[in-house]
Amino acid sequence: MAEFNGTPHNTAKVGDIAKTVLMPGDPLRAKFIADTFLDDVKQFNNVRGMLGFTGTYKGVPVSVMGSGMGMPSIGIYSYELYNFYGVENIIRVGTAGGMVDSLDLFDVVLVDGAYSKSTYAKVGFGYWEDIQKPSEKLNRAIESAAKKLGKKVTKGLIESSDTFYSDPTVVKKSRYELLCAEMESFALFANARHLGKNAACILTISDSMIKKAETTAEQRQTAFTDMMEIALNAAITL
């Protein structure tokens, strides 16, 4: 059998990546998490600038890797982690735009389901449902970690959109009550479902469509530490 030498997108070897991976969209946020929270850090990937690191958190191996923006991008990276590297759990740690008045900037949302009009799940795996669900096991671990840390999370249904910019005159209606919008979770959950793995998503509100407020680019890389700590403390229990 030929030796496995990575994929076109990841040069890591089997064993370089922990069974649980935190996955921000921004590779620089992955580096920030590794530099700030992990010990004994080793970089395992830099292909296309998509940084990946493995270290330990409170003595437990944890990896962190960027996913890029959008469902096709996280679809590739998460599928490879699950399918080629033996990863069992991926926790997306991302940003989202608030869609309800009750959410303020920096609030933390735990995704209970990702609604999308995307064809990712249908074309890839024959899943016709317009909502893909996270792992109940991971969500319980995240809720438990948040409670122990004394950090508030709001749990609910979110939207995974294929568009960041769109025509404001185009009417966008959903029959669901959606807390916020991002661009990745639907594909991540579909991959996990297909491969029999676990996925979850915890988000920080970086801007509000209702309140017309937003965070800076620097804050999006480094200021969302509540979400990161919750995810890390959940990861070490898995």
Catalytic residue among 26, 39, 40, 207: 207
Is 84 exposed, middle or buried (CB count within 10 Å of its CB: 0-12, 13-18, 19+)?
middle
16: annotated active-site residue? no
Identify the residue whose tokens are 């671990």.
141
Q: Which residues contact 192 (CB under 8 A, 6 or more apart)?
A: 78, 82, 90, 134, 135, 198, 199
Helix (H) or strand (E) holding 27: helix 27-37
Rounded to whole angstroms, the Cα distance separating 196 from 1 reads 25
Rounded to whole angstroms, the Cα distance separating 224 from 208 reads 15
Q: Residue 139 — left, alpha, or beta (φ > 0 → left; ψ -120 to 50 → alpha)?
A: alpha
Is 136 exposed, middle or buried (CB count within 10 Å of its CB: 0-12, 13-18, 19+)?
exposed
Which active-site residues does the annotation give? 207
